């Protein structure tokens, strides 16, 4: 099983926002830090803000900030929302001779459920509590402009 780029970027944005939650961060700052397309990030941030994971602020001093406490952001739920609930193999949209008696699909569903259950055991706070993870996110080469520590409404 492989997570989509959208999910990967969603988790990266949440990591970065969580580490820098004392201030607003910008899309360009995150794009530069991870060396990823700002256009991809726009879609990711929009989806995360619609789900309540991020708060966005427009304008000259705008940016993004976590919309929830990191301890309230469940990694399994984020992955489920960004990946959707599609099966590992989509048997309904293929012509397959095994459809009526296949034993593979239930096993794959069980494996997917186990995968999601493990992810659901962890929060964003758990992941950023790891010292090397924190240092990797804080000790960046990205020069961060002075950003307001509180949102400007």
Which tens digit of pLDDT belongs to each residue from 24-35? 999 999 999 999
Query: How far is the C-alpha of 62 from the C-alpha of 51, rounded, in Å?
Result: 19
Which residue would you say has higher pLDDT here, 76 or 148?
76
Does 58 have pLDDT greater than 60?
yes
Report pTM: 0.82
**pLDDT at residue 93 greater than cutoff 80:** no
Alpha carbon distance 23, 65 (integer Å): 7
Q: What angle do CA 87, 93, 99 make, to 5 degrees?
A: 80
pLDDT of residue 147: 46
Cα–Cα dist 111/107, whole Å: 6
Residue 119 has pLDDT above 50, yes or no: yes
Which is more confident, 140 or 21? 21
Are 2 and 79 contacting, i.e. CB atoms less than 8 angstroms apart? no
Euclidean distance between CA atoms 106 and 89, whole angstroms: 11
Q: CA 30 to CA 48: how far, in whole Å? A: 14
């Amino acid at each position: 099983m492989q997570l989509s780029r959208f999910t990967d970027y969603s988790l990266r944005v949440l990591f970065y926002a969580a580490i820098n939650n004392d201030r607003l961060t910008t899309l360009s700052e995150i794009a530069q830090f991870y060396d990823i397309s700002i256009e991809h990030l726009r879609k990711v941030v929009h989806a995360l803000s619609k789900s309540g994971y991020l708060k966005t602020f427009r304008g000259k001093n705008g940016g993004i900030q976590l919309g929830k406490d990191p301890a309230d952001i469940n990694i399994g739920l984020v992955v489920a929302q960004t990946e959707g609930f599609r099966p590992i193999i989509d048997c309904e949209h293929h012509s397959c001779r095994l459809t009526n008696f296949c034993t593979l699909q239930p096993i794959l569903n069980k494996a997917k459920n186990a995968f999601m259950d493990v992810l659901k055991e962890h929060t964003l706070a758990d992941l950023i509590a790891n010292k090397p993870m924190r240092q990797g996110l804080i000790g960046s080469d990205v020069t961060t402009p002075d950003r307001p520590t509180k949102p400007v409404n």
